């Protein structure tokens, strides 16, 4: 039941590609249950708002994804676009 809500949150939070300033972009990552050092891209927050807007939305998504029952991976936000 939470998965559709989280998917909607990602869309509503301004996660569309190629918009916004690079300086204001934040990316949500997760690791893997089998590899705690793995970096898996989850979402990019790059709405054409102030940096604080994208950072806060990334933080909210991080908390919601991590709070789902049974989640064993870690979620975190980093400033900038996806990097391997």
Q: What angle do CA 69, 43, 22 make, to 5 degrees?
A: 150
Nearest-5° angle of CA 50, CA 51, CA 52? 90
> Which residue positions in the chain have pLDDT lower than 50?
5, 7-8, 11-12, 14-18, 20
pTM above 0.85, yes or no: no
Q: For the segment 27-42, what is each residue's pLDDT rounded down to a tens digit? A: 999 999 999 999 999 9
User: Residue 6: which of 52, 55, 72, 75 has the closest Cα?
Assistant: 75
């Amino acid at each position: 039941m939470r998965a559709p809500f989280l998917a909607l949150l990602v869309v509503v939070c301004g996660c569309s590609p190629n918009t916004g300033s690079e300086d204001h972009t934040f990316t949500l990552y997760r690791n893997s249950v089998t590899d705690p050092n793995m970096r898996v891209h989850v979402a990019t927050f790059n709405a054409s708002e102030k940096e604080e807007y994208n950072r806060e939305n990334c933080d909210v998504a991080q908390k919601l994804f991590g709070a789902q029952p049974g989640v064993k991976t870690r979620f975190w936000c980093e400033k900038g676009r996806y990097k391997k």
